[in-house]
């Protein structure tokens, strides 16, 4: 079965927005037979933008699950700037010799 890249992205996005599991869709793809790849730089930029949009959608869908699992684990998790919440932030004191 051949799949075109734009239609595949449309289907994937629709399933994610509807709250469906996209595993079945992705499992049925023969990745070597994908067609509809961009032929110019503008099309490549559009494809990259759409993929980034899907990545953001996935990250947003995973956030509540990650927060719940973090809350159940009893771990303090991470604070601002990705540093562990229990460790106080220390200012950087690196100075070069002049």
> What are 20-48's pLDDT values in tens digits?
988 998 898 888 889 999 999 999 999 99
* Count: domains in the chain: 1
Whether 80 is covered by a domain: the verdict is: no
Whether 83 is covered by a domain: the verdict is: no
The residue ranking higher by pLDDT, 79 or 47, is: 47
Give me the torsion for CA of 9, 12, 15, 21, rounded to 10°: 180
Q: What is the pLDDT of residue 87?
A: 52
Whether 32 is covered by a domain: the verdict is: yes
Q: What is the pLDDT of residue 92?
A: 57
Q: Which domain holds residue 21?
A: 5-63
Whether 85 is covered by a domain: the verdict is: no
- Of the pLDDT bands very low, low, confident and very high (cuts 50, 70, 90), residue 1 is low
- Report angle CA 69, 76, 94 to the nearest 5 degrees: 125
pTM: 0.64
Whether 17 is covered by a domain: the verdict is: yes
Whether 52 is covered by a domain: the verdict is: yes
């Amino acid at each position: 079965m051949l799949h075109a890249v734009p239609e595949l992205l449309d289907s994937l996005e629709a399933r994610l927005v509807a709250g469906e599991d996209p595993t079945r869709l992705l499992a049925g793809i023969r990745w070597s037979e994908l067609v509809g790849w961009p032929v110019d730089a503008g099309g490549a930029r559009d494809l990259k933008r759409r993929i980034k949009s899907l990545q953001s959608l996935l990250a947003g869908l995973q956030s509540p699950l990650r927060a719940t699992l973090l809350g159940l684990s009893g771990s303090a998790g991470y604070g601002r700037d990705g540093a562990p919440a229990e460790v106080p932030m220390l200012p950087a004191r690196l100075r070069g010799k002049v």
